[in-house]
Amino acid sequence: MKSKNIKLLFFIKFVGGLLFFLPVYALYLEQSLFSLTNVGFVLALESVCFSLFEIPTGALSDIYGRKNVLIYAHVISLIAVLFLLKGGSLFIFALYAILKSFARSLVSGTDQALVYDTLLAENQEHKFSDILGKLFAFWPIGASIASLVGSYLATFSLKHTIAWSLLPLAISLILCFFLKEPKLHKPAKKQITLHISSAIKEVFKSKAILLLLLMNAILYGVGEPIYNFTSIFFIERQIEIAEIGSLFTIAFGFAALGHYMSGTLIKKFSMKKLLFICLFLTPFIDLFSTVTFGYIAGLLAMVPSFTYSIRNTIISSETNTLVTSNNRATILSISSAFQQVVITLGTLFTGYVAEIFTITQVFQLLLMVELTVPILIALFYFKSKAKFLNS
């Protein structure tokens, strides 16, 4: 009998996306901490902690089981948001950042590994890219709804957006208890250090995997700081706070559509060509938003969520195809840890330089990096992949 893991994960992702503070998160931090430098510090701390936690938590998933790790992650998420709700000082926000990063690191790689192992146990692994795209789609669907509702709640109080986010987080936690560990993946009691060492050796043996991890890290290292400071960018582009929620709703809607359609598009077109198109269009369209104002700037900034989502599914599918099952969650966590190192640098850079120049000028610089470097890495990756598969 087929497990209900996939359907449950779809619902968990959807409910988990109902975070009503998403469109005003940076504004909430700025209101409480009084400067973009402090906002950048909190965001960077989150990235640093995430990178430190990523690899060992990925090993925990491989060793002790996907379901258990997901349950612990959702418990910690609830506690983290309670600290965010309390706020009041840089110390409290730092605690939130640490706990949130720990929870994210527990989920990172674990959900993908659970999907792949579930499909593998049912001899359905050929459906992975399609299922993964749909899985990625459900979080932005929830986030789009949350952004719309959150922008309304924010007109009363920014804290309201955080308080109401506790309910969907609790529901997500309850749903995790109904997941089943795939029969294929039997948690083995091994030393975490030895398991991590095995995964790292697998990564460094393959130039293709290394290049894929590097390309992904650059994309997130540039894209995540832009996302984190988007609400502040919108204010600079003369967009009202009440309109920010609707723009985030559009963005998450495009992200959901892109993820949902990615499996079909991958089957229809060459994965290589599709990736290059997405790598070019995402920053290219974003650049136009930095030279316009008002709702036009907002819409131009949100549309690339569609190509971003397709790109994300392609890279995740490629990574899962190249790595072995025993080290899957750990290698995915190594990838995320690498991402977070670059995200930390990008976030600190954005927060610091935005105090000297405008946030728009910082975005333009970051987008030029995103427009060139990942495409060059992708060219080398596909050459290395061909050698890897033939070896």
Q: Do 289 and 298 contact (CB within 8 A), yes or no?
A: yes
Q: What's 5-182+191-390's CATH class? A: mainly alpha
Instruction: Return the pLDDT at 58.
Output: 67
- Cβ neighbors of 124 (< 8 A, separation 6 or more) are none
pLDDT of residue 200: 80
Give 340's Cβ-side CA count (13 Å radius).
Answer: 24
From residue 347, alpha-carbon distances to 40, 43, 48, 270, 353 in Å are: 6, 7, 10, 34, 10
Q: How far apart are CA 158 and CA 21, in angstroms?
A: 7
Task: Check residue 255 and give its pLDDT.
Answer: 85
What was the pLDDT predicted at 1? 47
Query: For each of the chain's 391 residues, which pLDDT tens digit applies?
Result: 477 888 999 999 999 989 998 878 878 887 887 677 788 788 778 877 877 787 777 677 777 778 888 999 999 999 999 999 988 888 899 999 999 989 988 887 788 888 888 888 787 877 777 787 788 788 888 888 888 888 888 888 888 999 999 999 999 999 999 998 877 655 454 667 777 787 788 878 878 888 888 898 888 888 888 887 888 888 888 888 778 878 888 888 888 888 888 888 888 888 888 999 999 999 999 999 988 988 888 888 888 889 988 888 888 888 877 877 677 777 777 787 788 788 888 888 887 888 888 888 888 999 999 989 999 999 888 887 766 555 5
Comparing CA positions, the residue from 176, 233, 213, 181 lying closest to residue 62 is 181
The predicted pLDDT at position 240 comes to 80
The angle subtended at Cα 55 by Cα 51 and Cα 58, nearest 5°, is 125
In residues, how long is the chain?
391
